[in-house]
Structure 1
Amino acid sequence: MSDIEKEISLLMSKADESDPAAFAELCKNLANEHFKKQEYDNAIAYYSHAIRVNPNVAVYYANRSFAYLKTECFGYALNDASKAVELDRNYVKGFYRRAAAYMSLGKFKEALKDYEHVTKVRPNDKDAKLKYNECNKIVKKIAFEKAISIDDKRKNVADTINLDAMTIENEYAGPELENGKVTLKFMKELMDMYSKQGKLHRKYAYKILLDIKNYFMKQPSLVDITIGDTEKFTVCGDIHGQFYDLMNIFQLNGLPSETNPYLFNGDFVDRGSFSVECIFTLFGFKLLYPNHFFMSRGNHESATMNQMYGFDGEVKAKYTAQMAELFTEVYNWLPLAHCLNRRVLVMHGGLFSRDDVTLKEICEIDRNRQPPEEGPMCELLWSDPQPQNGRAPSKRGVGCQFGPDITKKFLELNKLDYIIRSHEVKNEGYEVAHNGTCITVFSAPNYCDTMGNKGAFITLKGKDMIPKYTTYEAVPHPNVKPMAYANSLLSLIC
């Protein structure tokens, strides 16, 4: 029994059984206190108990929806907000919460309907009008882009880049590529410059993006990695634009090299406001050590997520809209998974809604696109484990949740030992589940400057493939808040 469950049990023993509504209100008030302290899981537990005691109060569902939004359980948040609206059509906050959940899932048309409802109910509400207008702009932009596309294939931005027309100004004092190539000297100077909040020249930035796209285009969707018996190999989880914590990983574990290989397992960008610095550092090392530095696609390496959670805005602020489009093209070619010594599968999200998915099928996925809303590619980027057997609808509203029995079947079918995935904040930076066969690693400590979690990375050696965990706290960073470049509509969420 958890501490919260013990508290609730104690409260129940002292409660007036003749007045369940009052007890539900007490639970709601305690949940609100936990929410204010950013203890969202505890808040959810209390809101849930309030709902069990008195299931017909819209505000309980709306409040729990907000807590689910904070923990990125967008599917649960949407369900709760919809329930709040169902219980009380006059409860405007329920429509706000549902719109926020729809926005988080990239369902802009549905969000627009809810914002429109709020503006009709509250015609003088400036905040509602602002959110309606912003959401309407997104919907119109998407419709326009779809209208001008031909057979759903957009122009190839990479082909429009003219590096020869870009001049290196005399006053530029940052790192320079040598004969158009990334060197170790360049990478050290780049990281030092970024640490001092400098900016890479756009000509070099574009060159890195063009080169990395050409490289990834030649890779399969599932990359096989061979690790020598005595060779150390490091797997890192989500970085989410936390550049200074990325530097701390290299401080703790050594810079990437041919004798110190790394795999970064998706979600390099968004939320953290140093995403540009993170991605060029990672892409630089990939070009420098292509056979000893690896990158998997995460659910945040997608256009919709980038438009909402900050990366798109950050690239436009630091460079150009054209570069933001080029990043989308590059991300479409990122591998979806890596297999270590044919024993361990590493993907960002998790396993599948089918029992018959093989490594061969993963390898053959046509990944050059935005993530679909269902199927193996979607699930590799979005799914999460659950403690109970079987499958369940995703708490995120995308992908699925899979239990220990599902993991066991997948490993047996594909002759694997265990899986490593990321995608979820963990208090200690990692979590071992499913009898040791499903490991989560998350490498962004104090996520969003609010969660208080540790970060972690995994090291293993090829001979035994036994994972070892290193955890660490967040390090200081310049006073630029997370989500500084995010869409203003997410002000309700983070």
Structure 2
Amino acid sequence: MLPSPLAAAAPPLPPQSSDEDFFSTASTSTSSDSKPRSPPPTLPQIPIVWPEAGALTASWVADLMQAFEWASKALPPSEFPSVLPVAVFDKLVLTASKILHKEPNCVRIDENSELNSDCRVVVVGDVHGQLHDVLFLLRDAGFPADDRFFVFNGDYVDRGAWGLEVFLLLLAWKVLMPHRVFLLRGNHESKYCTSVYGFEKEVLVKYGDNGKHVYRKCLGCFEGLPLASIIAGQVYTAHGGLFRGTIITPSKRSKKKNRKVVHNPKVDSLILGSFEELAKARRSVLDPPWEGQNLIPGDILWSDPSMTPGLSPNIERGIGLLYGPDCTEEFLKKFNLKLIIRSHEGPDARDKRPDLGGMNVGYTIDHIVESGKLITLFSAPDYPQFQATEERYKNKGAYIVLEPPNFDTPMFHSFEAVTPRPKVNPYYDFEDVIDSDEELDLVSMVTDSGLQQPAV
């Protein structure tokens, strides 16, 4: 493993003292350079205080990690403000939001970002509020550093009990190392999903009277999350994957002027989009939009691969697209790419799609075509937190490491869930809420938001 910038900054931890510690049975990665199990956290310095100079340090982020880890098992959720006061929350989210909103819809991680032959890139899939697995992943992969980039592929919140801690922790890393840590948006970074799958209630429980304020600030930060990344000019990452393009029909009066732009084409006229179109999309719309160039964010966040050739509406989800191996080949070839890494589907979703591989080890290689591959990556082991039982899934999570010279050959690192998880109540009625996003009540969402139903 490459050295971590937090190795010296983090306070020393005592030997493991109790079988009840949630790291007591933490599994190591299946990679050859896996680390020993981490000892339990000590009592941290709380409350967390914003640095006087206003600039985060590695030591501050280390303290934040330790405080969240300790509080998750030592304090009830309603005591969270005693760990991170709302004033500190405000400063962290404001600082991170200013950075995120300045980034383009598709961030490019290349030589201009100081990506060189001495660097590695770690790509992470859905984590869904599973704080202890995220902490394990960071320790196992090695923390972000000058020579270690991270790309997170969205879905930081919902279903798991610590979505707020996960999101804030990753925002802290983004503020500390804005050119080494890249946070992309997932479909759960939306108002609708967070109102159904627990994050809104989690925030209200943890911050009480300030909960609505904190939730609004989180939604505003979600708006700034980029939609995609291109790594070393070779690898495209996005939460759902591919997206549609617009169709331009020349006017009869002029071949150049007054061209009619069809943003919501008929089913038989769907085409793949371009990065130029992606760059112009309005990502600040939080919930799935149905018209104009705002269809592109909906596609990127909600679409799925298929083994059936062609590009078609994703009828199961009610939003986004299904794209076959031929679409993957066309996209890779057209933009001189070698690899697509997307996320968005956990074991519950794949359990309903026998034509594609399951998520037992945290990833599947869905398309192998002439120009490269399409991979689905999922980083939340033993998912979902409250619905998983001995009879269900017990999936591993995974992350991918991309190495020079071309950064286009994925190295898979699977890992098991950190157990036992601290005792905590769910923030949504998981028995009545469906397992997968595949059947979300998008009609209800559209009605509530005042939008029209999708035409495709």
TM-score, structure 1 as length reference: 0.62
Judge conservation of contact 2:271–2:311 (CA < 8 Å) in 1: no
The one of the two structures with greater contact order (alpha-carbon pairs below 8 A, sep at least 6) is 2
CA deviations 1:354-388 (Å, max 9, x no partner) are: 43411121122121112334421111000010122
Shift of 1:210: 0.9
Residue aligned with 2:88, SS: helix
Match of 1:326 in 2: 217
Aligned to 1:270: 158
How far, CA to CA, are the matches of 1:190 and 1:443 in structure 2? 22
Q: What does residue 247 of structure 1 align with?
A: 135
Aligned equivalent of 2:192? 304
Contact 1:355–1:410 (CA under 8 A) maintained in structure 2? no
Alignment RMSD, CA only? 1.8
1:180 CA displacement: 2.3
Which SS does the other structure have where 1:258 is aligned? coil
Find the aligned partners of 1:446 and 1:257 in 2 and give their Cα distance.
28
**Deviations 1:217-269 (Å, cap 9, x if unpaired)?**
21111111113123111000001000000011012111122222211110000
- 2:148 is paired with a residue whose SS is coil
C-alpha change, 1:464 and 1:274, in structure 2 (3 Å) is same
Letter in 1 for 2:280: E
The answer to whether residue 376 in structure 2 is matched with residue 440 in structure 1 is: yes
- In the alignment, the residues of structure 1 paired with residue 432 and residue 168 of structure 2 have an alpha-carbon distance, to the nearest angstrom, of 27
1:180 aligns with 2:54: yes
Q: Distance in 1 between matches of 2:272 and 2:299?
A: 14
Segments of 4+ moved more than 4 angstroms = none
Question: Alignment partner for residue 369 of structure 1, among 285, 296, 321?
Answer: 285
Q: Partner of 2:434 in structure 1?
A: 493
Mark the CA change 1:492 to 1:342 in structure 2 (over 3 Å): closer, same or farther: closer
**Unaligned segments of structure 2, at least 5 residues:** 1-44, 72-79, 245-269, 347-358, 436-456
More deviation, 178-187/348-357: 348-357
List aligned pairs for 1:125-274, cutoff 5 A: 173-178=46-51, 179-197=53-71, 199-226=83-110, 227-274=115-162
Tell me the SS of whatever aligns to 2:164.
helix
Report the Cα distance in structure 2 between the residues aligned to 1:360 and 1:400, rounded to whole angstroms: 19
Secondary structure at 1:448 match in 2: coil
CA contact (8 A) 1:297 1:331 kept: yes
Q: How many percent of aligned residue pairs carry the same amino acid?
A: 34
More helix by share: 1
Preserved contact between residue 126 and residue 155 of structure 2 (Cα < 8 Å): yes
Q: Does the CA-based 8 Å contact 2:299-2:321 persist in structure 1? A: yes
Aligned partners of 1:262 and 1:350: how far apart in 2? 18
1:373, 1:398 within 8 Å by CA — same for their partners in 2?
A: no
**Structure 1 pair 183–350 and aligned structure 2 pair: CA distance change class (3 A):** same
Q: Whole-Å Cα distance in 2 between the matches of residues 270 and 213 of structure 1? A: 20
Moved more, 241-250 or 177-186: 177-186
Corresponding residue number in structure 1 for 2:412: 469
Q: Compared with structure 1, are the counterparts of its residues 328 and 490 closer, same or farther at alpha carbon in structure 2 (3 Å cutoff)?
A: farther
| Contact 1:233–1:260 under 8 Å retained in 2 | yes
For structure 1, the 5+ residue unaligned runs are 1-171
| Cα distance, 1:185 vs structure 2 | 0.9
SS of alignment partner, residue 474 of structure 1: coil
1:391 aligned onto 2:311? yes
Write the distance in 2 (CA, Å) between the matches of 1:237 and 1:286: 17
1:489, 1:253 → 2: CA distance?
A: 31
C-alpha distance in 2, partners of 1:352/1:215? 25
**Distance in 2 between residues matched to 1:343 and 1:254, nearest whole Å:** 23
Pairing of 1:84-99 with structure 2 (within 5 A): none
Query: Equivalent residue of 2:229, what SS?
Result: strand
The DSSP-based 3-state class of the residue aligned with 1:195 is: helix
**Partner residue in 1 for 2:205:** 317
